[in-house]
Amino acid sequence: MLALGIQRLDAEPGQALDLAEAVLRRAPGAPQAQLLAGQALRRLGRPAEALTRLSALARGHRTVAAVLWELAQAASEAGDARQAIAALESLTRQQPAVAQGWFLLGRQLRKVGRAQDAWRADLAGVHASSRDRDLLEAAVAMNEGRLDEGEALLNARLQRLPDDPPAIRLMGEIHWRRGDMTLALEWVERAVYVAPGFDLARDFLIRLLLQNNRLTEALDHAERLTGSPLRHPGYALIKASVLVRLGDQQGAAAIYEQLLKAKADQPQVWQNLGHALKTLGRQADAVHAYRRAVHYQPTMGEAWWSLANLKTVKLDGEDIAAMEQALVALDPQREEDVLHLHFSLGKAYEDAGDDAAAFRHYDLGNRLRRAMVPHDADDFAAETAAMASTFTAPFIAAQGEGGCPAPDPIFIVGLPRAGSTLVEQILSSHSQVEGTMELPDMMAIAGRLQSRVDEGEFPDFRTMIASLTPADRTRLGEEYLERTRIHRQSGKPLFIDKLPNNWQHVGLIHLILPQAKIIDARRHPMACGFSGWKQHFARGQSFTYDLTDIGRYYCAYVDLMAAFDAAMPGRVHRVFYERMVADTPGEVGRLLDHLGLPFEESCLAFWRNDRAVRTASSEQVRQPIFTDAVDHWQRFEPWLGPLAEALGPVLPGYGR
C-alpha cells in the first residue's frame, strides 16, 4: 500500500495521502507513512499541515536527507524561512553535493536578510552542480557544437527542476551560440534572478549586456559582482571594462591602479591602465604603464604596439632590439603578438628613417592580419552600390515627413585616419557641443533593420526602408537618442557621434533624424590609405590590411557620398584635412556656420581641451595642427603602387 502511494504521489497526491493515512491508522508513527503524508499535503497546496507532520517526523529523524528536504520545502512554502534554513543547513552539512539544497538555502537566507550567507550558498550550489552528470553531458554537447542535443538534455532537466540555475544559464549560452541574443539574455537574466549569487552567470550576463550596448545595466551588475564573497580580482576588471565603455576612464584607471598596488606583476593590467591614461591625456603616465607591461612580459605584442601607437613617442634602438628578440622568442602560433610586434617595428623603423625596413614589417603584420580577418571587396562594392540606388532624391521625397526632429546629434563620418578626431576635438571645444566617443548605436539600428532583409521578411533593403512609416522613423530616431543619452554628461544642447563607418548610413540618418548635422572628414586617398594600412585597428576596419582593398574601399566611399550629395544637396558638410591644416580659422568658421553655431576662439585652441580621446589620434589632437602628416606618405610611394592603381580616377579627382 505504501509503495503504491509513493508511485501516485505526483500524479494523484490526494490518493497518496489516503494511502498514507490508512497505513498510519494500522501503524501509528510509521516514519515512511508520515513522510508520504507530508509530501502529499505539500503537493495538495497545504504546506502548513505538511510542516506540522514533517516537523514531528524530523525530531526523531534528524539525519534522514529525504525528511530534511521535504521539511525545508514545506517550511519555505508555509513562509517559515527560519525553519527551512535550519533544515537546509543540516541537509547541506550532511550532503554537500546536493546542489538544489544549496540553492533553496540561498533563497531562504535572502528572506531573512542574510545576503552574504545566501551568496555563499549559491556559490556552493554551483560548485556542487559542476559534478552533475546531466549538466556535464549538456555542456559537452554544446561545446562540441551539438546545440540541439544540448538543448534537449536541458529541457528534460528543466521539466524536473524548472528553477535549476546552472541549467538555465547553459540554455542561455546555447541560444547565444546560435546568435539569438534576445533569448540568450532572457535565459541568463533568469539564472541570475533565481540565484543572485551565481557569479559566473552574472559575469556572462554583463558580457551579453555589453554586446547589446546596455551599459547602465551592465554597470549595475558589475558593481554587484564586485561584492562577491570570492573577492575575485577578475570582477574588478569586469567593472573597469564597463566603465571604459561608459567613458569613465578615471574610474577604470583607479581600479587598475588599486589592483597593481596589490600585485604589480600583471602585464595585462598595466596595459589596460596605459589605455585609460592615454585616453585621459596623461601621456607620460601611459608610457610608464606600457613599459611596465613589456617589462613583465617582453613578448607582449599589444603593449609594444600601444606604446608605438602613441604617435608622439619614438621607439629607440634598444626598443627595436628588444622587439626583434621578442619575435625570435615567440612561438609563431601566437599570431596576435607576432603581428603587433611587426606593426610596432614598422613604426620604430619609420621613426628611425629606415623606410624599407619599416614597410617590410608593416607588410608582414598586414599579411598576417589579412589572413585572420575576412573582407570581400566585391561584396562591399555591391552593398554600397545598392545603398546609392536606394537613397535617390525621388525615393527620399516619396517618404515624406517623418523622423525625430531633435537637432542634438552631430555625426562625423568618413574613413579612419582622415582627420575625424581633429574635427571632433575642434567642435567639442565649443561651449554648445559635447564630445562623446565612437558610438555604435546607429550601426546597431542599421544592423537590426538589415537583419529583417537577411531573415527573409523583405526582399531587399530598399523595400524594407520604404515600408517604414513616418511614425516608425520617428520611433527609430527617438531610440537612437535614448540609446546615446548615457554618454551625455554636460547638459550641452548638441553632441558628437564620431564613428567614421557611419558614412554608410547617411541615408538612414537623414530619414530618422532629419535635423541632425552630418560632417564628412576627408583626406587625400594616398595619405589616408597608407595611414590606415600601417595603423592596425583593434576591430571594425577589415579592409585596411591590403593596399588594393583599401583603394577599392575608398572608391566605394567616394561614390556613395557623391550619390548622397546628389540626392540630398547640402545635407553633408565636407571637411578636407589638407584645407583644415592650411587655413584652420577659415575652415573652422565654415564648419561652425554649417552647424549654425557662433564662432568661438576655443575651437582654434582645441589642444587645450582635456576631454578623454580614445582613438589612435588621441595624442596628436592634444597639440596644435602640424603639417608633417600631409605629405608623409610620399616617403613610401615606391611601395604603394597597388593602392594608387586601385584608386584609379578617384586619385586625380580628389578635392574637386
Q: Phi/psi of residue 130, each to 5°?
A: -65, -15
Closest CA to 33 of 49, 47, 48, 16: 16
Which three-class secondary structure state does DSSP give residue 653?
coil
Query: In which residue are the cell numbers 596576435 written?
Result: 336
**CA–CA separation, 236 and 494 (whole Å):** 33
pLDDT of residue 625: 59
Mean pLDDT by 10 residues, the chain (656 residues): 68 77 79 79 86 83 83 89 92 92 95 95 95 95 95 96 96 94 95 97 96 91 94 93 92 96 96 93 93 96 93 89 95 92 96 96 95 92 94 94 95 93 91 90 93 92 94 96 90 94 96 97 95 85 94 96 96 94 92 95 77 46 55 92 95 82
pLDDT of residue 423: 93
Which three-class secondary structure state does DSSP give residue 14?
helix
Residues whose CB falls within 8 Å of the CB of residue 236, separated by 6 or more in sequence, listed in order:
226, 255, 258, 259
Residues whose CB falls within 8 Å of the CB of residue 451, separated by 6 or more in sequence, listed in order:
none
Query: What number of H helices and E strands is found in the chain?
Result: 34, 5
3-state SS, 74-85, equals HHHHHCCHHHHH
**CA–CA separation, 294 and 323 (whole Å):** 10
CA angle 422, 427, 432 (to 5 degrees): 165
**CA–CA separation, 98 and 77 (whole Å):** 20
Q: Phi/psi of residue 435, each to 5°?
A: -85, 135
**CA–CA separation, 9 and 42 (whole Å):** 10
What are the residue ranges of helices labelled H in 353-469? Answer: 355-372, 377-390, 393-399, 420-428, 441-454, 461-466
Q: Where are the beta strands (DSSP E) in 579-645?
A: none
**CA–CA separation, 415 and 88 (whole Å):** 62
**CA–CA separation, 576 and 595 (whole Å):** 17
CA distances to 471, 481, 516, 524, 597 from 485, rounded to whole Å, are 21, 6, 15, 34, 22
pTM, two decimal places: 0.81
Element (H, E) at 284: helix 283-296
pLDDT of residue 470: 95
- Taking residue 91's Cβ as centre, other Cβ atoms within 10 Å add up to 25
pLDDT of residue 482: 93
The three three-digit cell numbers of residue 235, written as one number: 570582477
pLDDT of residue 530: 96
**CA–CA separation, 643 and 529 (whole Å):** 7
Contact status, residue 528 vs residue 553, Cβ threshold 8 Å: no
